[in-house]
Amino acid sequence: MPAGTNEKPLRLFLALWPEDSVRLRLGATMAALKPTVSGRWLRPEQLHLTLAFLGAVERQRLPELNRIAARAAGLGFDLLLDRVECWPRNGIVCLAPGAVPSALLGLAERLNQGLGQAGYRLDPRPFRAHLTLARDGRPQGALGSLAAPIWWPVRSFSLVESRLEPRGAIYRVLETWPLADPRD
């Protein structure tokens, strides 16, 4: 930390942050799945699709993050979350697209490239589009196609702060960047 400051670094990530109408459908999907999947369910207001996890970032790097994100912005896209999955290795229960839009892959790639060039340590695993619903999940039957797929018109992405508190992580959107309308 710079001399004279005692501010802690921020724990940050970049994500697709659902609008309220999408969040309502996500909450309804969670409610429908809870009887057949045990686990630690996230709160609907915390649901998001992570593009890049940054970890601890000094506050003075926020302008740099803003520039990287603004340069990465491209076209908006429609995301269809039509699969429910449970990843056995880590017990993540998530929604995923059967087909990942190329605009989503491009956005994640541009962000990760810009962040890497700026010296951020990133997850070395390839980007895998998913929206986590629960942790330590144990389904009581087969998962797969979602009975009521969720259509999400993605027109922005956000920088989000994650504060770890006794009751769990609390997320706060710090900045949002628009994506160009794909119909223009």
Just list the catalytic residues. Answer: 48, 130
Enumerate residues 6+ apart whose C-beta is below 8 A from 19.
none
Question: Which residues on adjacent β-strands are paired with residue 34?
Answer: none
Q: Dihedral of the CA atoms 2, 9, 128, 148 (nearest 10)?
A: -150
Going through 88-144 in order, the beta strands assigned E by DSSP cover: 92-97, 131-139
Q: Is 19 left (phi over 0), alpha (psi -120 to 50) or beta?
A: beta
CA nearest neighbour of 30 among 152, 184, 148: 148
- End-to-end C-alpha distance for the chain, whole angstroms: 45
Q: Dihedral of the CA atoms 78, 146, 105, 22 (nearest 10)?
A: 40
